[in-house]
């Protein structure tokens, strides 16, 4: 049983399911579990404190899987940027063959990765950015709809519109991202013109996700209404789960003339890390998307991926194909 698409062919994976880069979550345990289950697992470069730590994490992941896995490099708008070029060198020097880039202006990195024969997936949130990434040579677009966890962009276009709008214009393969968590979503993504799906939040609620069980229970207990958008007035919109910290941030940023500095201590990455490690759900931001409404359990990655693919196949075979068959029979009767 397998759904073959341009993505499975290009990436050499069994199922068209990718685990997107996730700060503090995209470690070897999760990436290897996803890859072993036939999807594409992705390590998150900046989760590692130094490029040398990233080299070691890549080695650790290799020891856990002999299947393809990738590394995410997220280029953030920050005053004191991490040494991106050094992380890039660690990725290239470690022999990684698949990279997911995300964030602003990744062109320099893409060119360097491409010159080393690396397949580049670029994650973006609009058709115009997807087209410009295609022009400067990325191999695959991963397009995040408004439903997604993390940064959905400023256009507020949900996947139901964004994915087919992008499919109309792109020539390279595309992965639909944001709001995916089950077989129905996978079939929908393929129907909308994508070659596979990327999931973030859903993979956090798996046995292998290296985060505290309280966080996984939070993801199961909450529904599609439990996220909120913050940083809108800063033009760096982020979708996060509702908790006391995101409530506070939203309240402060709603004040006249509010600036990033007013919430900086609350939204620091290290607080988010503490939340994920200790399970104290009020320690910082918890990043989650509207797919919360579709998460009801904590399976292993293998159980999850198999379930998604099986359900997708059953929908195609038992609901969609017969719908055509019945009409054909009626037409010939």
Ligand X SMILES: Cc1cc2nc3c(=O)[nH]c(=O)nc-3n(C[C@H](O)[C@H](O)[C@H](O)COP(=O)(O)O)c2cc1C
Backbone angles phi, psi at 178, to 5 degrees: 100, 105
What is the size of the binding site for ligand X (CB under 6 A)? 29
Distance, CA of 142 to CA of 133 (rounded, Å): 11
Given strand 98-103, what is the order of strands in its sheet? 17-19, 197-199, 174-177, 140-144, 119-124, 98-103, 69-75, 41-44
Using CB under 6 A as the binding rule, the residues of this chain from 265 to 284 that contact ligand X are none
| CB neighbour class for 1 (10 Å; exposed up to 12, middle 13-18, buried from 19) | exposed
Q: Is 139 in the site for ligand X (CB under 6 A)?
A: no
160 alpha carbon, distance to own chain's centre: 17
Binding test (CB under 6 A) with ligand X, winner from 166, 208, 287, 309: 287
| CB neighbour class for 33 (10 Å; exposed up to 12, middle 13-18, buried from 19) | buried
Using CB under 6 A as the binding rule, the residues of this chain from 201 to 260 that contact ligand X are 201-202, 204
Q: Is 200 in the site for ligand X (CB under 6 A)?
A: yes
Binding test (CB under 6 A) with ligand X, winner from 40, 71, 110, 149: 149
Q: Is 72 in the site for ligand X (CB under 6 A)?
A: yes
Backbone angles phi, psi at 103, to 5 degrees: 95, -165
Shortest separation between residue 135's beta carbon and ligand X, angstroms = 21
Q: Which residue is nearest to ligand X (CB)?
A: 200
With respect to ligand X, which residue has the nearer C-beta, 167 or 199? 199
With respect to ligand X, which residue has the nearer C-beta, 109 or 202? 202
Residue range at the interface with ligand X (CB under 6 A); choices 22-30, 85-93, 185-193, 298-306: 22-30
Binding test (CB under 6 A) with ligand X, winner from 16, 21, 39, 185: 21
Could you tell me the CA-to-CA distances from 130 to 125, 138, 139, 143 in Å, in that order?
A: 8, 9, 11, 8
Q: Is 39 in the site for ligand X (CB under 6 A)?
A: no
**What does 94-133 look like in DSSP terms, one character per residue?**
TT--EEEEEES--HHHHHHHHHTT-EEEEEESSHHHHHHH
With respect to ligand X, which residue has the nearer C-beta, 22 or 54? 22
Quick check: helix, strand or coil at residue 178? coil
Distance, CA of 46 to CA of 44 (rounded, Å): 6
Q: Is 23 in the site for ligand X (CB under 6 A)?
A: yes
With respect to ligand X, which residue has the nearer C-beta, 221 or 254? 221
Shortest separation between residue 257's beta carbon and ligand X, angstroms = 29
Binding site for ligand X (CB under 6 A): 20-23, 25, 44, 72, 74, 102, 123, 144, 147-150, 177-180, 198-202, 204, 287-289, 291
């Amino acid at each position: 049983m397998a759904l073959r698409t341009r993505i499975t062919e290009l990436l050499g994976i069994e199922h068209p399911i990718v685990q997107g880069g996730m700060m503090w979550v995209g470690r070897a345990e999760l990436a290897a579990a996803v890859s072993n289950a036939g999807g594409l697992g992705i390590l998150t470069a900046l989760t590692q404190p130094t490029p040398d730590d990233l080299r070691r994490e890549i080695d650790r992941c290799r020891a856990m899987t002999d299947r393809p896995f990738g590394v995410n490099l997220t280029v953030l708008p920050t005053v004191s940027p991490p040494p991106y070029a050094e992380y890039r060198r660690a990725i290239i020097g470690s022999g990684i063959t698949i990279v997911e880039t995300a964030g602003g202006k990744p062109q320099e990195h893409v060119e360097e990765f491409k010159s080393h024969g690396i397949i580049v997936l670029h994650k973006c949130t609009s058709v115009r950015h997807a087209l410009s990434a295609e022009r400067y040579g990325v191999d695959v677009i991963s397009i995040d709809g408004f439903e997604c966890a993390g940064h959905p962009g400023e256009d507020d276009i949900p996947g139901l519109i964004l994915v087919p709008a992008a499919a109309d214009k792109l020539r390279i393969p595309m992965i639909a991202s944001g709001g995916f968590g089950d077989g129905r979503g996978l079939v929908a993504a393929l129907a909308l013109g994508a070659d596979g799906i990327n999931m973030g939040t859903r993979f956090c609620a798996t046995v292998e996700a290296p985060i505290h069980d309280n966080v996984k229970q939070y993801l199961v207990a909450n529904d599609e209404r439990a996220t909120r958008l913050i940083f809108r007035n800063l033009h760096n919109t982020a979708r996060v789960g509702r908790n006391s910290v995101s409530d506070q941030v939203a309240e402060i940023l709603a004040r006249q003339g509010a600036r990033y500095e007013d919430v900086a201590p609350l939204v620091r990455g290290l607080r988010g890390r503490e939340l994920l490690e200790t399970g104290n759900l009020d320690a910082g931001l918890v990043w989650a998307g509207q797919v919360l409404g579709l998460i009801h359990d904590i399976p292993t990655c293998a159980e999850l991926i198999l379930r998604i693919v099986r359900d997708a196949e059953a929908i195609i075979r038992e609901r969609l194909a017969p719908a055509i068959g019945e009409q054909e029979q009626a037409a010939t009767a």
